[in-house]
Amino acid sequence: MDEQELRSLFSAAPPDAPSPTFSRDDVVRESRRQTVRRRNRITAGVSAAALVVAGFGAYGLTSGGTPGLLTAAKDNAAQSGPGSAQPGDGPVRPEIGGGSPNFSSQAPQQGGVGEGKTGQLAEGASGCEQVDGELAIALAGELPGHVDPARAVPGGACSTVSRSAGFPVEGGEVAAAVYPKGIPEVFKSQPAGTVTARAGTASGGVLVLISVPAAGAAAPYAGEVGRFAQRLAPRF
């Protein structure tokens, strides 16, 4: 390669790069400035959202929440006035002889007792408004044939302190009641021809089982009432 060719090559080479117009400190300052701007935007957005939520809460309190509570309180006060009945009013236990308001005074009818209303099933329930579910299932299993526990009624042996269940059957009703230990057996008087059996329970109480005849009929399962009671009592 001669001198002329070398000269041509050097003349064709690109010139030196220009010097930068910014320094490392400029880059660091710009990065910090952008970070501060992002933080400010985030803070502003959060503050605006908090103000919106607080505004809705204040509107709810002033536009009907408090008056509704005041109205409910007034209604409750009106219902609990001097003339209203208080819990616990009235006799605690029924009286022997059918004088208690807990029982119907009607005599048993064919296929049922009283009005034949089915009580609400509840485990371990006491009183004449609910049927004890456990006792209903146990009694249904002892009675001949297929007996649906859902058809259980409190029964004529029920009282305010006993767990009770009974079933309308052909010719009358069979009912049982479990009295806790130390509680006397107190239930309404039964019509003539009723068969009653008693047995001690496993918890120290007493199970009473009655067979109540319908008008003009004999007590259903009269010869088996005692056996029913002896089989049921150990379960309670």
Domain identity same for 127 and 210: yes
User: What are phi and psi for residue 73, nearest 5 degrees?
Assistant: -65, -40
| Integer Cα distance of 98 and 102 in angstroms | 9
32 inside domain: yes
Give residue 172's pLDDT. 96
User: Do residue 57 and residue 125 come from a single domain?
Assistant: no
Q: Kindly state the helix (H) or strand (E) to which residue 132 belongs, with its residue range.
A: strand 130-132
**pLDDT interval class at 217 (50, 70, 90):** very high
Q: For residue 178, is it within any domain?
A: yes
Q: Output the DSSP codes for 164-219.
A: EEEEEETTEEEEEEEEPTT---------TT-EEEEEE-TTS-EEEEEEEEPTTSPP
Residue 16: predicted pLDDT: 63
CA dihedral 24, 30, 36, 39 (to 10 degrees): -100
Same domain membership, residue 45 and residue 145: no
Q: Which domain holds residue 138?
A: 120-235
Q: What is the pLDDT of residue 42?
A: 84
Q: Do 131 and 210 share a domain, yes or no?
A: yes
Note the pLDDT tens digit of each residue in 14-31.
666 666 676 778 777 878
- Return the axis-axis angle of helices 133-142 and 225-232, rounded to nearest 10°: 130
Whether the per-residue pLDDT at 186 is higher than 90: the answer is: no
- Residue 208 phi, psi dihedral angles, 5° rounding: -110, 130
- Give me the mean pLDDT over the 196-215 stretch: 96
Q: What is the rounded average pLDDT for all residues in the chain? A: 74
Residues 125 and 213 in one domain: yes
- Residue 127 forms part of a structural domain: yes
171: left (phi over 0), alpha (psi -120 to 50) or beta: left
Kindly state whether residues 132 and 226 are assigned to the same domain.
Answer: yes
Residues 6 or more apart whose Cβ sits within 8 Å of residue 200: 206, 207, 233
Q: Are residues 130 and 223 in the same domain?
A: yes
Predicted TM-score (pTM) of this structure: 0.49
Number of domains in the chain: 2
